[in-house]
Structure 1
Amino acid sequence: MTDATPLPTVDEVRASMRTSLKEAMRGRDKLAVSALRSALSAIDNAEAVPAEPTTTRDESPIAGAVIGVGATEAARRELSLDDVRALMRGEVDERREAAVEIEGAGHPDRAEDLRREADVLEAVLRG
């Protein structure tokens, strides 16, 4: 029987990314900070659900205001580990494609920065 290493949860991946972000901030690694913040934001955005129309009450002095505890709360979408990995892969691919275009436009320094950001995110994927 083979011992399989359990896959991390989405929360563990996010926690690992936040730890890496803190380390990058301490090390003043601007490119890693940028890449990790962007990836964390992409995950947060993917968890957002479209807002549903809310009901209003006529008792409010503000037209269209919603009243009550939790009136502005919305449930978040739960992403699977595969969803997060696909999202991260998209972030990496996006940076690599942009690097090719930017290098072709005569900006090799910026292209190298994008490649380095992609490398940071690939390291997260390998985990």
Structure 2
Amino acid sequence: MTAKDATSIRDALKSAVVQAMKRRDSEALAVYRTALAAIDNAEAVPIGPSNPVGAIELSAVGVGRTEAQRRALTEQDMIDIVSREADERRAAADSMSGLHPAEAQQLRREAGVLQALTDDVRARAEE
């Protein structure tokens, strides 16, 4: 499966990671991995009353006692996360374009890579 064939953004990102590795494209590889990490971080269990943090001596004891379900994200949630990653890169590029034009251009390329991937996934989902 290639990124163009995937209908899930997570599958498209994983496929894109493999393709970037084959092409030895370290820039794209870093962008795709960062987007996957952003999705994984969004699925993390929030700390709150149901998942308290406290003294170790008060923690649950036994196998599986400390396991918690990760947050379930919809496909649209994941697409939004990747789109925000692209938006953040564009905003950073805009803020640094005067002082660091090369770095700003790099950030714009990275945003374009992510935008192209999300556009492909959206188009596949509409078919």
TM-score normalised over the length of structure 2: 0.77
Structure label with greater radius of gyration: 1
User: What are the within-5 Å matches in structure 2 for residues 1-127 of structure 1?
Assistant: 8=7, 12-51=8-47, 52-53=51-52, 63-104=57-98, 106-127=99-120
The sequence identity of aligned pairs, in percent, is: 44
Aligned partners of 2:92, 2:60: CA distance in 1, in Å?
43
**CA-based RMSD:** 2.2
Structure 2 partner of 1:4: none
Paired residues of 1:54 and 1:66 also in contact (CA < 8 A): no
Gaps of 5+ in 1: 1-6, 57-61
| Aligned-partner SS, 1:67 | coil
With CA pairs under 8 Å and 6+ residues apart, which has the higher RCO, 1 or 2? Answer: 2
Match of 1:109, as an amino acid?
Answer: A
